[in-house]
Structure 1
Amino acid sequence: RDVTPAHLRYTVTCFCHITPLSGDKRRILLLYCTVTYLFCVHKSFLILQRRVKVSQEADSSSVMASVKKDDRLTSSQSFMCVGFAGVFSKTVTSPLEVVKIKSQVGTFYCKKGFWQSFALIYQHEGIRGFWKGNLASCLRLFPYTAVHLTTYKKIVHLHMDELGFISQWKAIFAGGLAGIAAALTTYPLEVAETRLIVQNCRQPTYIGVAHTLSKIYSNEGLLALYRGFSLTLLGAFPFSIGCYAVYMNLDKLWQEPPFRFTPLQNFINGCLAAGVAQTLSYPFETVKRKMQAQSARLPHFGGVDVHFSGMVDCFIQVVKNKGVLSLWNGLTANTIKIVPYFGLLFTCFEMCKQGCLYRNGYIVSPLSYKLAPGVDQSLGPYELEDAKRYLKNRNFGSGESSFRNRW
């Protein structure tokens, strides 16, 4: 444990130079020392891994930031808080999402730059044009979050050691698989969102989420609802690697260990991780959006700026006709969206959480975090309710004073 690989490497080098051995004996000694050195490096790496406990909460990426679990909330309350916060933040930042997706697909409105895109969308579609597809995005959020969290926790528990620790790379693998499972479940809603955003809402081909799904299925078949899904598989792991690469180097950025980070530092960390991860996986998402939008049954083939026959051909045609940098079209809108999205997400989550904590009896008001006097904050909501019921049945008295005396 105390001998570092550098110490062992120096010892092996000196020993091999001063030992009067030659031929097969020297080669055997070198092989033995090399194996010992590699074993020492491996053990040192395992010791370092055990010192860092990887969080069991799912990340988002992409979507959704990982929120630290509070045992004072029930599972349903936590899920509803995260879901409502996600819906609210998505709705507020929907105009940026619309501009981003239109830029990725390559529609006419978004070929003149970031600011001109807003003016052209408002001119041709009105204010409603900035919230196209938002319902599909919000409907997708709840099942996506549920499947992602459940799958991630299951995979993490399978790879935990006896001390409850997991390596960073296994956590990356778990996050990638969880994202794939969640995307597979909700992918048709993502296709519907793209089709609704790309069309002109004043001359609509699709009316509503249900009509979009049914029309795509009847006209193009079931596989059209999963067109471009392979790019989700390819983009999931660069996204996860980008997130964890940032988080693994945050202590160098702030010059202090992660457990001392303030809420503001954690917010900045989340924004940095999301920005880096989304930038790395952005070309895959651009091609995916083009594949989702393209259809021979739509006017102008869905508004896509290049014509292609498959995933590989789409990459080739985009690079050939538009240039490599066009794979990052809409990145400005996506980057600007990160800060308000996560800011609203955390703020709304905390407000919903305060309401639930007040309802559960942990705080005195839904507008503040002032703890209720005499209440053990380490108890879960069901345990706290059982304690209240027990005290009432045992005739310790009614009201706040008896409960304070007990706990």
Structure 2
Amino acid sequence: MNSASQESLVASAQSRAKHRMSPISERFELPKAHRVVVKVGSSSLTSIENSLDELAIATIIDVLAKALRMNPQMQIILVSSGAIAAGLAPLGLSRRPKDLATQQAAASVGQSLLMARYTETFSRYGVRVSQVLLTADDLMARDRYRNAHRQLERLLELGVMPIINENDAVATAEVKFGDNDRIAALVAHTVKADALILLSDVDALYTKHPAQGGERIVQVRGAEDLEGVSIGSVGSAGVGSGGMVTKVQAAHLAAASGIPALVTSAAQARAALAGEDVGTWFFATGVRRSVHELWLEHLADIRGGIVLDEGAVAAVRRRRSLLAAGIVSVEGNFDGADPVALCDSGGAVIAHGLCSYSATETAAIAGLHSAEIREKLGESFDAIAVHADNIAVVGQY
């Protein structure tokens, strides 16, 4: 074999490794997983009085510790909600505050209480843990994403279980994830997990509320499996910021990155890690992608829309930059670098992207070529309205 062929094989293998899907495809394979991200919600960790539920925490720790004992090769990353809820009682608050400043104060008080319980109880099983606080920027900015990845990998190499929470004490309204379900999905992507398990007080996704005769949805292979299903919060949302909607979004986010996900209750955690038929299993539907692409497709706050002609639609689907000449019209009011939907003439969204210009500027250059743009608006403007690096094609994975 010549050197060129060898290089080609190596490059192909590296590409497959980089974009591989999880080796876990079915729920019964979970017991042999190497790396699992487990997210537990506030409602599963706090009592009805909004204080830490010692028994609930001890139970989930027992489940995780015994799973590690059964499979010594397994690594678990725990994404834990509960910091804000844990801080309510010490601050004399009866319910989760709505204003950001008080949420941050409660999180600051509650985080230390929550970690103290985790550290003390896990130590009884010989499991070392560490606290990792993240904000949206830590997983969106390239340099900080690398730092977060490096930190998590090193902790796992040292035999430490990272316990992750959104850094509510410093996160702002503009950059907060709003819940830990989606941060868990992004962490699963960051650490190249084999599976994501989302635990709350709801045992599965149902066709409608169980009290109304709804049936458990056993598995989801794609968004089409949920067509016609009313997804709402049927659990105790009083102390948390998520609901079933965010869990489904997180599961889809993980699945789109090649990581299967299981949505079930904390009470079913032991059965879930044992690979039993509980909860709703989301099959992996795509390959691993950059966190930037995942954010654009699933998490970005879309501020407006751009309608494209047929040529531009074809180019964007091939992951080419959107040129001004292919723009038909502009909808909404957005600023430069805001996320926008890129649509065909029928209104169907084909991609999300970060537009280089404001809505007014984009409308001004619509349909124009480079020379016409510079003549009309000046030399600082060019024909690229949305660069290929800032485009995520929707639904192609």
Alignment TM class, shorter chain as reference: under 0.3
Structure 1 length normalisation: TM-score? 0.24
Higher strand share: 2
Higher helix share: 1
